A and B are shown apart, each in its own frame.
Chain A
Amino acid sequence: MSEDTSLKTTPLTGLWQSMGGRMVPFAGYLMPVQFPEGVMKEHVWTRESCGLFDVSHMGPAFLALNDTSLKGDAAHAAIAALVETILPCDVAGLAPGQLRYTTLPNASGGVLDDLFVGRPKADADQGTLYFVVNAGCKEQDFAIIAEACAGKATLTRADDRALIAVQGPKGGDAIGNVGDGPKRLGFMEFATVKGPYGEVVVSRSGYTGEDGFEVLIAADKAEAFVRTLLATAHVKAIGLGARDSLRLEAGLCLYGHDLDETTSPIEAGLAWTIQKVRRERGDFPGAARILKELSEKPSRKRVGLLPKDKAPAREGAEIRNLAGEKVGMVTSGGYGPSVGGPIAMGYVDAAFAAVGTELDLIVRDQPRRWVVAPLPFVPHNYHRKG
């Protein structure tokens, strides 16, 4: 069997292959879906100790103001104003070193991508923003950002570097070797840290529901960094399979599945990503629909679902009310190793979105009884400063 040579690799692909990673195509990249221990053990290890994930397929980038005469808060205000034309996030209100999760809405209020935007901490870096977008949306997102800022700011991609997620309750101990800075970060804060692996961007964020870090590091330093972490007893390499089951248990959306160009951030339960100041101004793409759904409530909602029996339901399974009428669709479904059973998320008509509502999910033409459940399925274990 020959490997598809059109697939891109990351700075860590060779390491994963040497470790027995099962490599699969994902968003145009050759990525490890699991290691020899398997998804179940990898998942549980991450919740209890620390999992290391290669997420170099994602799209990190820096956007810098062309007018370098502006400094400090004035520079940040200027770059924030440019991207607030395309994002519903209060970028202007970001504190230095703060990261926010946001969406890129289209003109009709659907979601083109979900992403992170951050304001650097250092005075010298004001007028720059840090973005991390989804792998499958990189070209589209970068084009939209570049167009919104044409002539005023310049986007520099950083997806030639490695992006490594270090997730789990022991992540803080593991990350210490890039310097002292990371452990001082609060949840959703980031910093540029200089240490034994050169200059790295570290954020306290992730996609597992656990405390953790995401590290943007030069391609030629990545393998040494990863090998050092993996040499410690509490860190193991984890594949994309467990990344998916971890994020589903944490109730986090996967773009292209739980979010797409037809779903609004309000239907998705992401109203919290649109800060008050932006709601009041209503000056972002799709504002008409998004503001209407905020005031009148959306007609459908993203919900969690738990089965009465043991059969998993997968993406695309139809959801019916007990009268047999279609009221929704599963958008992510699988097995939650920490829950110990199947879990799913989907969109249902608002009348059926209350926790405790019984519904039938159609699995291989058979209705199976499920119940609307609160999200997340597993409590978030994010870092709290104290």
Chain B
Amino acid sequence: MTTKYTKDHEWVSVAGDIATCGITAYAAEQLGDVVFVELPNVGRIVSQGDEVAVVESVKAASDVYAPVSGEVVDVNEALAEAPEGVNEAAESTGWFTKLKLTDPAELDALMDRAAYDAYLAGL
């Protein structure tokens, strides 16, 4: 399984042609307490960089972008009842969507963990 990161602080973890996507622990920490997550409908086709979800903290709403292109095949319904799951485990059980990849080559341009950590260190 390969995990890659975007400059907008999304992560994407790929197994076969399925990409599990979420926001990074850094993003969750910056947002603060998450109180609502709006997820896309299963079946929606998204392009890399499209707004695919919305995450709301006490103070503000933020867009979550698709780190890669694909078809939404699953969403994390648990976040509807327990949005604080994003703060508790942003990079595992706090995932947002599963996408069926349409252009796996997009992954090559994303950062690996070391590159993302270096990116964070420079912020």
Contacts and interface: CB of A to CB of B under 8 A. Distances in A.
A190 interface: no
A380 B38 CA distance: 32
Q: Looking at chain A's contact residues, is the secondary structure mostly helix, strand, loop, or mixed? A: mixed
A310 B80 contact: yes
Interface stretch (A33-41, A220-228, A295-303): A33-41
A38 B32 contact: yes
Contact of B33 (A39, A310, A312, A364): A39
A1 B32 CA distance: 21
Which one of B32, B56, B58, B80 has the highest number of Cβ atoms from chain A below 10 Å of its Cβ?
B58
- Counting chain A residues whose Cβ lies within 8 A of the other chain, the interface size class is 10 to 19
A314 B33 contact: no
A40 B61 contact: no
Interface stretch (A63-71, A171-179, A334-342): A334-342
B32 A364 contact: no
Contact of B32 (A39, A312, A314, A342): A39
A244 interface: yes
A314 B59 CA distance: 9
Nearest to A337: B58
A14 B80 CA distance: 39
A40 B33 contact: yes
A270 interface: no
Contacts of A310: 36, 80
B38 A40 contact: no
Contact of A245 (B54, B58, B123): B58
B31 to A, nearest CB: 10
Nearest to A364: B54
Interface string B37-73: 0100000000000000010111111000000000000
Nearest to B33: A40
A311 interface: yes
Contact of A40 (B36, B54, B58, B80): B58
Contacts of B54: 364
Interface residues of B, number: 14
B19 interface: no
A314 B58 CA distance: 10
A33 B59 CA distance: 10
Given A310-B80, A311-B38, A364-B38, A335 B32 contact: no
Contacts of A311: 36, 38, 56
Contacts of A43: 58
B80 A312 contact: no
Which one of B35, B36, B80, B123 has the highest number of Cβ atoms from chain A below 10 Å of its Cβ?
B35
A312 B38 contact: no
A39 B84 CA distance: 13
A314 B80 contact: no
B53 to A, nearest CB: 11
Contact of B59 (A1, A334, A364): A334
A241 B30 CA distance: 13
Given A1-B123, A310-B80, A39 B36 contact: no
Contacts of A337: 33, 58
Nearest to B122: A1
Contacts of A335: 35-36, 56-58
B62 to A, nearest CB: 11
A34 B30 CA distance: 11
B35 A342 contact: yes
Interface in A300-320: 310-312, 314
Interface string B82-95: 00000000000000
A312 B123 contact: no
B60 A342 contact: no
Which one of B33, B54, B56 has the highest number of Cβ atoms from chain A below 10 Å of its Cβ?
B33
B33 A38 contact: yes
10 contacts: A38-B33, A39-B32, A39-B33, A40-B58, A245-B58, A314-B60, A335-B36, A335-B56, A342-B35, A342-B36
Closest 5 pairs (CB-CB, A-B) = A40-B33, A335-B35, A39-B58, A335-B58, A38-B32
Given A40-B33, A241-B32, A311-B36, 16 more contacts: A39-B32, A39-B59, A40-B32, A40-B58, A241-B58, A241-B59, A310-B36, A312-B36, A312-B56, A334-B58, A334-B59, A335-B36, A335-B57, A335-B58, A337-B58, A342-B36
Interface of B: 32-33, 35-36, 38, 54, 56-61, 80, 123
Interface of A: 1, 33-34, 38-40, 43, 241, 244-245, 310-312, 314, 334-335, 337, 342, 364
